[in-house]
């Protein structure tokens, strides 16, 4: 990184944070600190919701994923618009009218304190596990790219997040999210345009798209159904819908964003904006990855993207052979690509088909050589896709743009972490501290408690991120833990919102039995985790409903 | 205990600023989803091999 990139990155981030803190003036009450005094316009909430969901690892990992696997990951988001419609129609008016700080507070109004407590604790466990990883995961990649120790990267990022989250509360978070999301979108658009401009002179954008398609990378829709395959239309629409219903409807880190709305209309508009914008945005991010793939059809990529591992395997006796295979395949793929483009321009179909076959064959050999290199690392399930995009950005992008894109990545990491810390603090204060420890204190007391618990969860996030190296193999496990609980959360909210005949006891035991059903399915290891959300929600609803049938009718 | 501030129009289910009713807005979003899946299907069919 050159000096100007540092200026761009630090200047952008500093501006975002100071702007957020400036907008957060006047958050001197608990309601102001935790709900922005219910004053937020729809566009601020919309971008905050988007920024909270799109973590840095989403940008880093998604581009890498389309580089190696194409664009089919976009199907993961097909269920999101349906989920947003349901939440807007059903949950938003109920939460607004219930006049609550947290979604779980409503569960006590509808059921009892026991259901609220168990769901709040489930949220604290689940988010508490994830919050350190949200800081560490992008830091681990940035560490390799920037050459800093990972503890330093997490510490700097964490401290900045903690300061503006503690000082400014949700207003600062929301307004920094707006700026961060704007920078992310500008950064991504700039990355896409620059990627096209960096192609060799004879390769037009249409040629690049053609080569991406010929490599099977332009595959955003796959209709074939396979319960073990995470990314097809069916798992996206059905599994994705349940996941996003749970995430946006029951997870306080998202619910709190739209509880800050001026009115039901403003909150609904913020969710529906995401319903419309999310798929095109994900498509754009994935498309950047495919364009980067085409860039490396003409430019030599490293054998491994993770430089530390690359340096390690270079010392091994098996490496020269793997490297030779890799670059032989690279040269063959480049030659085949040139032949395909030339044949296409001359409308020479036989030459084009011959080039196409050679291109696909060379790609297969390249993948095989990369797998061999991965085996040399000695790491089980070695995966370096998260390093592709940032390696490309830092090595090839023009000065200034590098700083902007890295600011976007840092911004995305900070927006997700700040929302998680803020929601953990809110649930701790409102659902635990105020409910069970100090019931009748002043507003000032709860404001101070909110600030203290925000600082606590922030320090906890930074501390757990310091051990991120040891948690590295748990990133997948944390995602799994989320899916293990989301179905249950969704199930209990379906009972609360749509099944008035189900009482507190039935809901409580429904939660326990529904959760048992998910754990039983998880133990078989035969179902992709996206489906756990469906199984959990249906399990809670069914068991809750069955138990309610055997309960005496409530006295009127 | 502090209560969240109740804005004057909190409970009111106002009509959306466009399309006249929320049902129409939801239908519009659903149609948009179908259209975008159809477009992406076409994108796959035309450009991917």
A217 CB-near residues (< 8 Å, 6+ apart): A66, A67, A70, A71, A290, A293, B48
Residue B4 is encoded by which pair of tokens?
């969240």
- Cα distance between residue A341 and residue A355, in whole Å: 9
More confident residue, B3 or A164: A164
> Which of A85-94, A264-273, A413-422 shows the lowest mean pLDDT across its residues?
A413-422
The stretch A260-269 carries a mean pLDDT of: 95
Largest CA distance in chain A: 83
Q: What's the whole-number average pLDDT of chain A?
A: 89
- pLDDT reported for residue A59: 77
Q: What is the mean pLDDT of residues A30-49?
A: 93
- Does the pLDDT at position A276 exceed 60? yes
Minimal Cβ distance to A209: which of B12, B36, B47: B47
Q: What is the mean pLDDT of residues A238-243?
A: 87
Q: What is the pLDDT of residue A147?
A: 75
In A216-286, which ranges are E strands?
Answer: none
CA of B40 vs chain A CAs: smallest distance (Å): 6
Q: State whether A275 and B29 contact (CB < 8 Å).
A: yes
* Of the candidate ranges A142-151, A333-342, A397-406, the one whose mean pLDDT is the lowest: A142-151
Task: Label residue B24 left, alpha or beta by phi (over 0 means left) and psi (-120 to 50 means alpha).
Answer: alpha
Q: Do A403 and A8 touch, CB atoms closer than 8 A?
A: yes
A215, pLDDT greater than 80? yes
Would you state the pLDDT for residue A478? 62
pTM of the model: 0.89
Mean pLDDT, residues A157-184 taken together: 89
pLDDT exceeds 90 at position A552: no
Cα dist from A268 to A85, A238, A257, A485, B22, whole Å: 9, 22, 11, 25, 9
Judged by CB atoms closer than 8 Å, whether chains meet at B26 and A85 is answered as yes
Q: What average pLDDT score do residues A214-242 get? A: 86
Residue A242 banded pLDDT, cuts 50, 70, 90: confident
Residue by residue, DSSP assigns B9-40 as TSS--PPPSSSSSHHHHHHHHHHHHHHHHHHH
Q: Residue B17's closest CA among A181, A81, A273?
A: A273
Nearest CB among B2, B30, B44 relative to A221 is that of B44
* Mean of pLDDT values over A43-65: 87
Segment 366-395 of chain A within 8 Å of chain B by CB: none
Of B16, B22, B37, the CB nearest to A78: B37
Check whether A473 has a pLDDT greater than 50: no
Say yes or no for a CB contact (<8 Å) between A263 and B32. Answer: no
CA distance A340 to A348: 9
Predicted pLDDT at A502: 92
For A318-355, what is each residue's pLDDT tens digit?
899 999 999 999 999 999 999 999 999 999 999 999 99
Whether pLDDT at A517 is above 80: yes
pLDDT in tens, B1-49: 555 555 555 667 789 999 999 999 999 999 999 999 999 999 999 998 8
Least confident of A171-180, A260-269, A319-328: A171-180
Q: Which residue, among A264, A283, A284, would best test binding to B if mutated, counting the most B CBs under 10 Å from its CB?
A: A264
The band of A474, judged by pLDDT with boundaries at 50, 70 and 90, is very low
* Cα(A62)–Cα(A204) distance, integer angstroms: 24
Token pair for residue A465? 């991120």
pLDDT tens digit string along A91-131?
999 999 999 999 999 999 999 999 999 999 989 988 888 88
* Mean pLDDT computed over A207-232: 87
Q: What is the pLDDT of residue B25?
A: 97
Residue B6: the pLDDT is 55
Q: Does residue A452 surpass a pLDDT of 90?
A: yes
Partner-chain contact B40 A263, CB within 8 Å: no
Per the CB < 8 A criterion, the answer to whether A303 and A373 are in contact is yes
Chain B contact set for A223 (CB, 8 A): 41
Distance CA A340, CA A360 (A): 11
- CB of A283 within 8 Å of a chain B CB? The answer is yes
**Better pLDDT: A42 or A132:** A42
Rounded to an integer, what distance in angstroms lies between the CA atom of residue A404 and that of residue A11?
A: 10
d(CA A151, CA A140): 9
What would the mean pLDDT of A410-430 be, rounded to a whole number? 91
């Amino acid at each position: 990184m050159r000096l100007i990139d540092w200026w761009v990155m630090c200047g952008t981030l500093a501006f975002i944070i100071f702007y957020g803190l400036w907008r957060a003036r006047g958050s001197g009450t608990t309601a102001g600190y935790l709900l922005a005094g219910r004053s937020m316009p729809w566009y601020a909430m919309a971008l905050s919701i988007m920024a909270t969901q799109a973590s840095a690892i989403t940008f880093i990992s998604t581009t890498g994923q389309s580089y190696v696997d194409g664009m089919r990951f976009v199907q993961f988001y097909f269920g999101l618009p349906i989920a947003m419609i349901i939440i807007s129609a059903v949950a938003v008016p109920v939460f607004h009218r219930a006049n609550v700080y947290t979604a779980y507070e409503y569960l006590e109004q509808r059921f009892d304190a026991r259901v609220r407590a168990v769901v709040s604790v489930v949220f604290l466990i689940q988010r508490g596990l994830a919050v350190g990883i949200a800081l560490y995961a992008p830091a681990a990649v940035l560490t390799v790219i920037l050459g800093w120790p990972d503890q330093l990267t997490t510490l700097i990022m964490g401290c900045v997040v903690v300061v503006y989250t503690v000082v400014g509360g949700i207003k600062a978070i929301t307004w920094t999210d707006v700026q961060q999301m704007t920078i992310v979108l500008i950064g991504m658009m700039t990355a896409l345009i620059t990627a096209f401009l960096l192609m060799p002179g004879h390769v037009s954008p249409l040629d690049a798209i053609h080569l991406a398609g010929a490599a099977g990378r332009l595959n955003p829709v796959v209709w074939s159904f396979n319960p073990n395959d995470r990314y097809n239309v069916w798992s996206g629409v059905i599994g994705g819908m349940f996941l996003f219903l749970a995430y946006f409807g029951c997870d306080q880190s998202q619910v709190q964003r739209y509880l800050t709305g001026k009115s039901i209309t403003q909150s609904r508009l913020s969710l529906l904006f995401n319903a419309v914008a999310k798929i095109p945005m994900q498509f754009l991010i994935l498309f950047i990855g495919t364009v980067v793939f085409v860039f490396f059809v003409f430019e030599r990529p490293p054998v491994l993207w993770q430089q530390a591992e690359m340096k390690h395997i270079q010392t091994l006796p098996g490496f020269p052979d793997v490297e030779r295979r890799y670059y032989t395949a690279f040269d063959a793929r480049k030659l085949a690509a040139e032949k395909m483009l030339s044949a296409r321009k001359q409308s020479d179909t036989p030459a084009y088909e011959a080039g196409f076959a050679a291109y696909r064959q060379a790609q297969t050999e390249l993948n095989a050589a990369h797998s061999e290199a991965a085996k040399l690392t000695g790491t089980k399930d070695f995966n370096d896709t998260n390093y592709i995009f940032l390696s490309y950005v830092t090595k090839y992008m023009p000065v200034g743009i590098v700083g902007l894109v890295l600011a976007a990545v840092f911004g995305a990491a900070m927006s997700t972490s700040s929302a998680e810390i803020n929601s953990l603090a809110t649930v701790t204060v409102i659902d635990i501290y105020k409910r069970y420890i100090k019931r009748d204190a002043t507003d000032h007391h709860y404001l101070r408690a909110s600030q203290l618990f925000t600082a606590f969860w922030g320090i906890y996030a930074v501390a757990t991120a310091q051990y991120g190296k040891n948690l590295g193999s748990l990133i997948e496990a944390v995602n799994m833990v989320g899916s293990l609980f989301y179905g249950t959360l969704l199930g209990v909210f379906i009972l609360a919102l749509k099944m008035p005949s189900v009482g507190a006891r039935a809901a409580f035991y429904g939660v326990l039995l529904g959760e048992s059903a998910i754990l039983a399915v998880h133990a078989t290891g035969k179902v992709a985790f996206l489906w756990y959300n469906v199984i959990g929600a249906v399990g809670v609803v069914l068991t809750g409903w069955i138990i309610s049938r055997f309960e005496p009718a409530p006295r009127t | 205990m502090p209560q969240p501030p109740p804005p004057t129009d909190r409970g009111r289910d106002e009509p959306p600023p466009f399309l006249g009713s929320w049902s129409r807005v939801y239908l519009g979003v659903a149609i948009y989803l179908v259209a975008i899946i159809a477009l992406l299907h076409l994108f796959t069919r035309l450009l991917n091999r």
